[in-house]
Amino acid sequence: MIYLLDANTLIEAKNRYDRMAVCPAYWAWIERSKRAGTVASIDLVGDELRRGHDELAAWAKGKADLFLAVSDDDTQLAFGTVARHVATTAAEMKPGALDEFLAGADPWLIAKAMALTGAVVVTHEQFNEQMRRKFSIPNVCHHFGVPWIDTFELLARTHARFVLAD
């Protein structure tokens, strides 16, 4: 099983509950989990993070191996499937929602999960079938049967523990 991180999970951690100076063990856990093959993201998420001017951008610049390419054939084919699906439902959404979704990393993250056996998307977005202002990762994942969870469920599933040293 591999867990694919959405940008919002890393941004929220950095800004709120796992700030790099406060909880360096969280960031070390991500690196360790990547080496074990259980946690990754995609190169477009890495690009998004590296465009920043903060400690997360600097961190992402040194973690190229965390971010998987989306140029492989399986991901490309899955992206086409995702794009066709959202295009067929775009009329139900706020104007511009389709272009905004397709211009970002989200459809690629879902496509990578579809291309990898046993992949789970990790995001802080919420499932809401009534949402019309934007395409949400959980809504699109639900359509394709791709599992998704949030960071806290990821930590529970992987038995992550951050213990203070005495």
pTM: 0.93
Q: What is the largest CA-CA distance in the chain?
A: 58
pLDDT digits (tens, 9 = 90+) for 101-136: 889 999 999 999 999 999 999 999 987 777 676 789
Beta partners for 122?
Answer: 5, 149
pLDDT digits (tens, 9 = 90+) for 65-86: 999 999 999 999 999 999 999 9
Radius of gyration of the chain (CA): 16
Q: Under DSSP, is residue 7 helix (H, G, I), strand (E, B) or coil?
A: helix
Sequence-ordered strand ranges (E) for 63-113: 67-68
The Cα–Cα gap between 115 and 110 comes to 9
Looking at the domain that runs over 2-157, which CATH code has it been given?
Answer: 3.40.50.1010
Task: Please say if the pLDDT value at position 12 is more than 70.
Answer: yes
Provide the percentage of residues in the chain whose pLDDT is more than 90: 75
Q: For residues 149 and 39, is the Cβ–Cβ distance under 8 A?
A: no
